Amino acid sequence: MLDVLGIALTDNDRKRLMHPQTGGVILFSRNFQSPEQLTALTAEIHALRTPHLLIAVDHEGGRVQRFRDGFTAIPPMRELGAAWEINAAKAKQLAQDTGFVLATELRAHGVDLTFAPVLDVDFKRSSVIGDRAFHADPEIIAPLAQALVHGFNLGGMSSVGKHFPGHGHVRADSHHEIPVDDRSYVDIEQCDLIPFRRLIGAGLGAVMPAHVIYPQVDAQPAGFSSKWLKQILRKQLEFDGVIFSDDLSMEGAKGAGGILARSNAALSAGCDMVLVCNDAGAADELLAGLDYRMPAVGQARLAAMRGRGAVQGMAALNKSPQYLHALAAVKAIGKREGDLFA
């Protein structure tokens, strides 16, 4: 999965996206100028190939929301955790409404999926996670995330749980360095893995592993570790969805060598698709050198991540009672007014 330069495809973008080793596109804020432009860009990307390339975005809410103008401001997930403290049942409904609004708006503009939900536990240590996490209690994270994912599904979108097995306990930011989490597997299993286990049982579509080393389990970061991905995630947790690598251009991935070595390591460890973002030279190097044939099971997993059902444009959504009801609920999150939590 690669990125593209700007608000419309360049010739170099098209060349990369037509390469047989390319299977998807991740969009960033620089790819967004207006809702109309975004719709045209995604339509052009989808028209390049049959079956169409997967289009993804990091659109979680809060400070991680790539598209703003014309899109609902999604609150950080911590707000849903705070709502749980007032009324758990209403908080779950709010999470479902949030997922539905987020998914239907992205689908209306031709985006297949968002890399969400964040399933990390908020240990009050990680600045890069922070309010992106639902809560400090994994037993609260799990039902809220499950409700959010149900909203995604109602909106025709799958889900990507991240950052497996948990990024919340380390202070270091894997965008800039390689974090190390010295906890035992038992400690991680009894806390961080709870949301992943619950959502896998509920049909989580995909998982993104963390660029974090857990030396009590393996010397390799989770995204390059067959122990984490093949033994624990696939076998013990019985996960049968897609495994996306986190961005291999991040500092936390560079211990595995150059871009080709990183990609081969991630694929060998069990990833189905690797992400290379914001480095056109690395993308070209990877496409020129990667010799990988995706197994049929991987192709089937990725096909299931494409958006589902008929796509409604925003004009139709704005006449939909289901969307308008969910939208009103999302806009009220955090205000603590009226009878929202009564």
Alpha-carbon span 83 to 313, nearest angstrom: 30
Judge contact between 212 and 250, C-beta under 8 A: no
Distances (CA, A) of 278 to 68, 115, 252, 271, 282: 21, 17, 15, 20, 9
Using alpha carbons only, what angle is made at residue 61 by residues 98 and 332, rounded to the nearest 5 degrees? 50
Q: What share of the chain is helix, strand, coil (3-state, %, to 5)?
A: 45, 10, 45
Find the length of the chain. 342
Residue 218 annotated as catalytic: no
Task: Give every CB contact of residue 124 below 8 A, 6+ residues apart in sequence.
Answer: 136
User: What's the CA angle centered on 59, arms 206 and 201, to 5 degrees?
Assistant: 25
Short-list 156, 159, 89, 87, CA closest to 119: 159
Beta-bridged to residue 26, according to DSSP, are: 56
Indicate the helix (H) or strand (E) that contains 150. Answer: helix 138-154
Closest CA to 116 of 83, 82, 145: 145
Report the C-alpha gap between 183 and 246 in whole angstroms.
22
The two structure tokens encoding residue 166:
């948990």
Q: Which of 131, 181, 246, 272 is catalytic?
A: 246
Residue with tokens 């393996």: 218
Asked about 131 being catalytic, the answer comes back as no
Distance, in Å, from the CA atom of 159 to the CA atom of 173, rounded to the nearest integer, reads 23
Cis omega (within 30 of 0) on the bond before 75?
no
Under 8 Å between Cβ of 172 and 125: no
Q: Do the beta carbons of residue 320 and residue 313 sit within 8 Å? A: no
Active-site residue, selected from the candidate residues 19, 52, 137, 175 = 175
Q: How far is CA 230 from the centre of its chain?
A: 20
- Catalytic amino acids? 175, 246
